[in-house]
Amino acid sequence: MGMKTFDQLDETLHFEELQNGLKVYVLEKKGFNKTYATFTTHYGSVDNHFKPLGKNEDVKVPDGIAHFLEHKLFEKEHGDVFQDFSKQGASANAFTTFNRTAYLFSTTGDVKKNLTTLIDFVQEPYFTEKTVEKEKGIIGQEIRMYDDNPDWRVYFGLIENMYHHHPVKIDIAGTEKSIAKITKDDLYECYETFYHPSNMILFIVGPVNAEDILNFVKENQSQKSFKEKAPIERFFDEEPATVAKEKKIIEMTVQTPKCYMGYKEAAPNRKGKELMRHELCVNLLLEMMFGKSSPNYETLYEEGLIDQTFSFDYTEENGFGFSMLGGDTQSPDEFVERISGMVESFKDQPIAEESFERARKKKIGAFLRSLNSPEFIANQFTRYAFNEMDLFDVIPVFESLKVSDVEEVLQNHFKKEALTVCQVRKKKS
Amino acid sequence: MGIVNHKKTDLHGMTVHTIETKKYKTTSFILQIKEAINEKNVTKRALLAYVLQSGTKDFPSSKDLRSALDDLYGATLNADLSKKGENQVISIRMEVANEKFLSNSEPVLDKAFHLLSQVLLAPAVENGVFKEGIVKKEKRSLKQQIESIYDDKMRYANKRLLEEMYESEPYRLNVYGNEDEVDGITSKDLYDYYQEVVRNDKVDLYVIGDISTDEMLEKVKKHFHFSKDHHEKEEQASTAKDEKRISDIKEIFEEQDVQQGKLHMGYRTYTTYGDPDYFALQVFNGIFGGFSHSKLFMNVREKESLAYYAASRFESHKGAVFVMSGIETGNYEKAVKIIKEQHEEIKNGNITDAEFDQTKAMINNQVLETIDHPIGLSEVLYHNVVAGTNRSIEDWMEGINSVTKEDVVKVAEKVKLDTIFFLKGAATNGNENV
């Protein structure tokens, strides 16, 4: 068992990599009622072209299959696993992102019992033609729900604009048409390839005894046999640095138009500390340029171009990366013109030490606040670990950054030719 | 000391609630300001919440105020509105990092306390009224916020259901007010109303974190100065009983260009937070549609594949149960029939032991999880203020545990469907062009 203490944060993380390759992390949180556990595979919607475990030929699978698999893993011969958790006083859930599929529960009751249920249901798939067909109606309604959601449409539309080939542009849930093609054999093939313990992380946070929990998990795993771990071969087409489309307008039944704009990262292939530094730099820049205490925010708000819905973010992972800014606005074109103009003039000025410090303080405070949340810790730790980063490095890395670091990122990331825009506008009747 | 170390002190015209705990890396302050929701003030009150968080006497613009917060290690400040029964509550929340986790431990707590008091008691004023510039901006933002409800079809359908179901009751009012009233509010109107609020409204302050109660009370004395004539209005709307008897179920249809129909159903329960059968109603709602093992989820989604979500929610202070589900427009009759049947099933006592025990376990689990979060904890405790009760977390859990199946059946018989609102889909949505 390994142990890492973060004195400044008053946290101790326990971890171990088991023989089958599964990485287990336990963070003790005294005083909390709830224990939260996530069991996550490094497999998401972008992993649609790969070489199945033990085969020589690569395959391309239908859009939306990772998400479909997530739904179907809950169904067993004896019924629905949701019910098992519920009987044990736990609430379970799952979600699929571009790069991850996570299964989770939270409970204030019996942790070990629920942990067994979590591990076992994820490691014992049961797919039949009948249950696969039944799910198509439910997921079809989920897809329609998102289709009617303008925030989702504008966000996703922007990503579609950015990419020529990268599968991040494919909707995570797929389409009603693409999921219609999914069979139980497809599900098993994806499952065998991506749900090997060596491709997964188990994270437990709560008022538990770490050693006891680690031993318990080890015992559970030692009773199961898995194939030898093998590296997973994923295939991605070459993605140009340019955006696929500069602008898209989606018409919907809305009253207030929405506008998102984004800068596509030209070389999104960083890992580890380098990725963390880069992410934190872009986020600091966004904060300095458009945070609530910035002159730009004040101007935009005063001009009525933004409201409380305005937000921004940067994300990068495995071959895709972008910053995005957006929200509700009455004048979507002016919104783009003003904001891109502000970015350009920000690039022309030296960065003020004071504004850099203020942004950094704000970000450190926000990070501490997130550590109140077991959900944040488990989910973000896992995301960071899949990208070879350590969540608990965030504060020291923030503290190590200098103005010159962000200067460089500013010039390289926010390039005019990397800009794309997506708008949702009121449908003309 | 129970699960939560909660102390209450009446001081300087408000009730100060302190919760000492080492669980968090931050200290949270939550101000709850309550008034009965009413047609005359609803929009003004919504606007007031946003104006207050946009500047103070010392930091007279949003930019100045936000900079001051950033300098306090990214302290957060936000004002928000909620409807709790027939009350319109302004919540002003602030969260600040615990000094102990900062490498150059700065004294942020006292500064934060002062800033919070200023947001409520020393706003940005010019010529004896709120600063014109702030009011103008926040009016525009509020209008946009009200409009955006229409864009989120789930929220829109919910709003329409309440308007129809509570046609002649204050509960029909939207917590953000009426769009067409926003323009007419002047800085003076708003300032006059603000003075009424600080004079009359019931104010509760929650301080949660690694704090000492005595120290916090000293800080309240130091920073919070309400005017001398502060007194709470005698009559609060919170305990108003639902008297309406239902003759016919109201069915309202509306059509829009959406992919998925939104089905919302409103039930009257005639039971609220302070009533003895409140716990039975919580269990009823849990069996009906509160969880993923509930009858609605199992039948509408799992058995019939009609929906991705089908759930119910209980509003504790109005005593209403709301059902919501996203379905194909053509499946309306079928879905309504199944939902009604689930209610009948409970009335007929068709509740398995598993369902019953799971529901109780889940409700208690939910409460314990909610109080792990500072805001969740303050909300759970604030129920007592709204309802005029004095229940501890332990009382609450004991109340749930002691409910019998017979209690659930009895309360299920009281629950009556009042209104169905269905937002139907028409054609396809989202045509793309360049």
- CA B163 to chain A, closest CA, distance in angstroms equals 19
pLDDT at B245: 81
Average pLDDT, chain A: 95
- pLDDT for position B232: 62
Among chain B residues, the shortest Cα distance to A300 is held by B137
Q: Where are the domains of chain A?
A: 2-234, 247-426
Q: Please name the member of A33, A256, A294 whose beta carbon is closest to the beta carbon of B368.
A: A33
Percentages helix, strand, coil for chain B (3-state, rounded to 5) are 45, 25, 30
d(Cα B260, Cα B270) in Å, to the nearest integer?
A: 32
Mutation site for A-interface testing, chosen from B369, B373, B434 by largest number of A Cβ within 10 Å = B369
What are B186-238's pLDDT values in tens digits? 999 999 999 999 999 999 999 999 999 999 999 999 998 876 566 666 545 54
Q: What is the pLDDT of residue A11?
A: 87
pLDDT at B431: 43
Above 90 in pLDDT, residue A413? yes
Q: Which three-class secondary structure string do you get for A117-184?
A: HHHHHHHCCCCCHHHHHHHHHHHHHHHHHHHCCHHHHHHHHHHHHHCCCCHHHCCCCCCHHHHHCCCH
CATH class given for the domain over A247-426:
alpha beta
Tell me which chain B residues have a C-beta less than 8 angstroms from the C-beta of A364: 73-74, 97, 102
pLDDT at A410: 96
> Residue A60 and residue A190: Cα distance in Å, rounded?
10
Mean pLDDT check: name the lowest of A277-291, A306-320, B67-81, B93-107: B93-107
CATH of domain B6-238: 3.30.830.10
Beta strands A200-206 and A23-28, pairing class: parallel
Helix (H, G, I), strand (E, B) or coil at B424: strand
Our CA-based measurement puts residue B147 at a distance from the nearest CA of chain A, in whole angstroms, of 6
CB-CB under 8 Å, B63 with A295: yes
Query: Per-residue pLDDT tens for B262-293?
Result: 999 999 999 999 999 999 999 999 999 999 99
Tens digit of pLDDT for each residue in A212-266?
999 999 999 999 999 988 899 999 999 999 999 999 999 999 999 999 999 999 9
CATH class in words for A2-234: alpha beta
Inter-chain touch A365–B97, beta carbons under 8 Å: yes
Instruction: Classify residue B106 by burial, with Cβ atoms within 10 Å: 0-12, 13-18, 19+.
Output: middle
Mean pLDDT of A178-204: 97
Q: Does B144 contact A366 at a Cβ distance shorter than 8 Å?
A: no
Whether pLDDT at A335 is above 90: yes
- B250-425 folds as Cytochrome Bc1 Complex; Chain A, domain 1 (3.30.830)
> Hey, where are the domains in chain B?
6-238, 250-425
Sequence letter at residue B257: D
Mean pLDDT confidence for B382-401:
95
Task: Give catalytic status of residue A388 as yes or no.
Answer: no
Please give the pLDDT value at position B105: 61
Q: How high is the pLDDT of residue B432?
A: 42
**From the candidates A16, A70, A135, A239, which is the catalytic residue?**
A70
Nearest alpha-carbon partner for B163 in B270, B80, B264: B264
- pLDDT of B429 reads 43
pLDDT at A2: 85
Distance from chain centroid for Cα B141: 21
In the 8-state DSSP scheme, what is residue B122?
A: S
pLDDT digits 0-9 by tens, B21-79: 998 989 999 999 999 999 999 999 999 999 999 999 999 999 999 999 998 888 999 99
Residue type, A292: K
Beta strands in A227-295 (DSSP E): 233-234, 247-252, 258-264
DSSP A196: S
pLDDT of the residue at B237: 52
Task: Evaluate whether B152 touches A154 at the Cβ level (below 8 Å).
Answer: no
pLDDT at position B231, please?
63
Q: What is the pLDDT of residue B426?
A: 80
pLDDT level of residue B1 (50, 70, 90 thresholds):
low
Tell me the two tokens of residue A14.
Answer: 């326990």
Closest Cα in chain A to B257: A253
For chains A and B, what is the number of CB pairs under 8 angstroms?
Answer: 221
**How many other C-beta atoms lie within 10 A of the C-beta of residue A134?**
16
| A246 close to A161: Cβ distance less than 8 angstroms | yes
ipTM, 2 dp: 0.85
Does residue B243 have a pLDDT over 80? no
Amino acid B123: pLDDT:
97
Per-residue CA distances from B276 to B84, B348, B400 (Å)? 19, 22, 11
Whole-number pLDDT of residue A5:
82
The predicted structure's pLDDT at residue B340: 98
Residue A383 has φ and ψ, to the nearest 5°, of -60, -45
In angstroms, what separates the C-alpha of A206 from chain B's closest C-alpha?
11
Query: Contact A144/A152 with Cβ under 8 angstroms?
Result: no
Task: Find chain A residues with C-beta within 8 A of B144's C-beta.
Answer: 256, 307, 328, 330
Using CB atoms, pick whichever of A106, A145, A247 lies closest to residue B369. Answer: A106
Q: Is the pLDDT of residue A353 over 50?
A: yes
Kindly state the percentage of chain A with pLDDT values over 90. 90
Q: Do B140 and A373 touch (CB under 8 A)?
A: no
Token pair belonging to B43: 């929009």
Task: Please write the tens of the pLDDT for every residue from A63-115.
Answer: 999 999 999 999 999 989 998 999 898 999 999 999 999 999 999 999 999 99
Q: Smallest Cβ distance to A34: which of B308, B326, B368? A: B368
| pLDDT tens for each residue of B69-124 | 998 888 999 999 999 999 999 999 999 988 777 766 667 889 999 999 999 999 99
Percent of chain A past pLDDT 70, that is, above it, reads 100
Q: Give how far the C-alpha of residue B287 lies from the chain's centroid of Cα atoms, to the nearest Å.
A: 23
Structure tokens at A233: 């071969």
User: In angstroms, rounded to a whole number, what is the distance separating the alpha carbons of residues B395 and B407?
Assistant: 18
Across the range B419-426, mean pLDDT stands at 94
Using DSSP, state whether B226 is helix, strand or coil. Answer: coil
Question: Within 13 Å, how many C-alpha atoms sit on residue A287's CB side?
Answer: 23
A-chain residues near B362 (CB < 8 A): 86, 89, 91
Q: How close, in Å, is residue A52 to chain B by CA atoms?
A: 31
> Looking at beta carbons, which residues of chain B come within 8 Å of A132?
none
- Nearest-Cα distance to chain A for B235, in Å, is 34
d(CA A330, CA A335): 9
Please answer yes or no on whether A34 and B103 come within 8 Å at the CB atom: no
Minimum Cα–Cα distance from B140: chain A residue: A304
